[in-house]
Amino acid sequence: MSMSQITVNCQGEGQAVYLIGGGPAFTTWYLEPIQQQLRDHFKVCRWDMRGVGDNAGLGFKVDTPVLTQWLQDMATVLPRQPVVLWGHSWGALQALLFARHYPDRVKALVLNNPVDPELKSLDNIEIKRNVHPYVESKLNIDDIDTPAEHRHRFRSKIASYFMDAETGWEYSAGFDVDDTNNELNVLIWDEYQEMPIKQAELEILSPKISSLIYCRQDVLMPESLELYSKVISLEKHHIINGCAHFPWVETPVQFYDILLRSITAAQHSGLD
């Protein structure tokens, strides 16, 4: 099975930035607005993981963990020279895992709304997510036990990661249930816990972490900030007020200002 089959989407020219999406096992087309904002400055690339989205048709080796195969795919997709990785949510952990295995391939890391390596920020996340009456009112009694209910629950989950119900519901309209793979999602979380990034390893990786960007109202807060702050110096942390988990949708002006400065600093961090 060739790893070179992975479909990759790149925009722009210049120094490379690779975007690692969240989920896990969620398609990355929703990151295109970030590509569009950065492509005048950098070559910005993203790809769907094996088994998801554009690469849903690619098979797996039966004797190798899926997460290991995802990291092997990254080693094939990324150029040989060190590059900047931007990881969102779960993608922050995947970027860290790649840097742990291939430190010479990573110039710097920018972690956005990151899940912490100990997964403390996921504790009680079902309770911490925003339940919006506005969203729940969109489900009619006639929709129960129909595909419409399935889609509503899918959209409702996406909206629960937004502060504003209408913004989240509108944003969720662009997604389809085929944009995610629930079976792989569960599997990847289980596999990560078999190969987690320990605090000592995070300390080793910390010089490569150029910036961390958070939303103050994120469901991963405050645990994520607290745990990364134990290892990463405070000047690398940027906190945006007024957003939850999708700052490029909720607070785009503040977010893109911080993002561009962070990626620019990351590109220079690997220079002697």
- Both tokens of 7, joined, read 């479909």
pLDDT of residue 272: 40
Question: What DSSP string describes 252-272?
Answer: HHHHHHHHHHHHHHHHHHT--
* pLDDT, tens digit (0-9, with 9 covering 90-100), for 189-226: 999 999 999 999 999 999 999 999 999 999 999 999 99
pLDDT of residue 257: 98
Measured over the CA atoms of residue 150, residue 89, residue 265 and residue 6, the dihedral's sign is negative
Q: Is 145 helix (H, G, I), strand (E, B) or coil?
A: coil
* pLDDT, tens digit (0-9, with 9 covering 90-100), for 46-98: 999 999 999 999 999 999 999 999 999 999 999 999 999 999 999 999 999 99
* pLDDT, tens digit (0-9, with 9 covering 90-100), for 116-172: 999 999 998 988 888 887 677 776 777 677 777 777 888 889 999 999 999 998 999
Beta carbons of 86 and 20 less than 8 angstroms apart: yes
Q: Residue 87: name the closest of 254, 231, 205, 235 by CA.
A: 205
**What stretches of 20-145 show up as alpha helix (H) in DSSP?**
32-38, 66-77, 90-101, 125-128, 133-136
Give the list of residues 6+ apart from residue 127 with CB closer than 8 angstroms, or none. Answer: none
Question: What DSSP string describes 187-250?
Answer: HHHHHHTTSPPPHHHHHHHGGGEEEEEEETT-TTTTHHHHHHHTTS-GGGEEEETT-SS-HHHH
Measured over the CA atoms of residue 65, residue 22, residue 166 and residue 220, the dihedral's sign is positive
Q: Where are the domains of the chain?
A: 3-123+180-269
pLDDT of residue 3: 42
Residues above pLDDT 70, as percent of the chain: 96
**H or E element: which one contains 20?**
strand 16-20
pLDDT of residue 186: 96
What region, left, alpha or beta, does residue 14 occupy, with left being phi > 0 and alpha being psi -120 to 50 degrees?
left
Distance (Å, whole) CA 254 – CA 242: 10
pLDDT of residue 100: 97
For strand 43-47 and strand 8-11, is the pairing parallel, antiparallel, or unpaired? antiparallel
Distance (Å, whole) CA 228 – CA 244: 18
pLDDT of residue 271: 52
Q: Is 43 helix (H, G, I), strand (E, B) or coil?
A: strand
Give the list of residues 6+ apart from residue 73 with CB closer than 8 angstroms, or none. Answer: 3, 6, 49, 50
Q: Tell which CATH architecture fits domain 3-123+180-269.
A: 3-Layer(aba) Sandwich (3.40)
Phi, then psi, of 74 in degrees rounded to 5:
-60, -40
Confirm whether pTM is higher than 0.85.
yes
